[in-house]
Amino acid sequence: MNTDLGMKIAIGLMQYIALLFSLTVHESAHALSAHFMGDDTAKHLGRISLNPIAHIDIVGTVIIPLFMIFFPSSIPLFGWAKPVPINPLNFRDREGGISIVSFAGPLSNLIIMIIAIVLYKVVMMFPALAAFQPLRLFLFYLAAINLILAVFNLLPVPPLDGSGVLAKFIGLRNYENYVSKIGPYGFIILLGLIYFNVFDIIFRPFYLMLIRIMS
| Residues that are catalytic | 27
Give the separation between CA 101 and CA 162, rounded to whole angstroms. Answer: 11
Burial 158-197 (b: 16+ CB within 10 A, else e): bebbbbbbbbbeeeeeebeebbeeeeeebeebbeebeeee
